[in-house]
Amino acid sequence: MWLKITILILFLGVLASLTSGLRFLLKDSGVPESKRTLYALGIRITLATLMMLCVFYGFYSGILSSSAPWDARL
């Protein structure tokens, strides 16, 4: 259960970083030296990488499983 909560928190962090990056991009369009959009992108990439590592770990360890119809074992 802790892994699902961690993945959810990381996903919400990615969404928050995405919206803040868009806000910084629109707000700082006239400022040439502003790097807030770049920092938001770096944070988003880091959070997305951590989230994907958690998902891969969950599938590898058996904590997570797929219930998609095309993954049905015969």
Listing DSSP states for the chain in one string gives: -HHHHHHHHHHHHHHHHHHHHHHHHHHTTT-TT--HHHHHHHHHHHHHHHHHHHHHHHHHHTSS----GGG---
Cα 61 → chain centroid: 21
pLDDT value of position 74: 54
Instruction: Output the six-digit token pair for 1.
Output: 């259960």
Average pLDDT over residues 38-63: 95
pTM: 0.84
Please give the average per-residue pLDDT across 49-72, as a whole number: 92
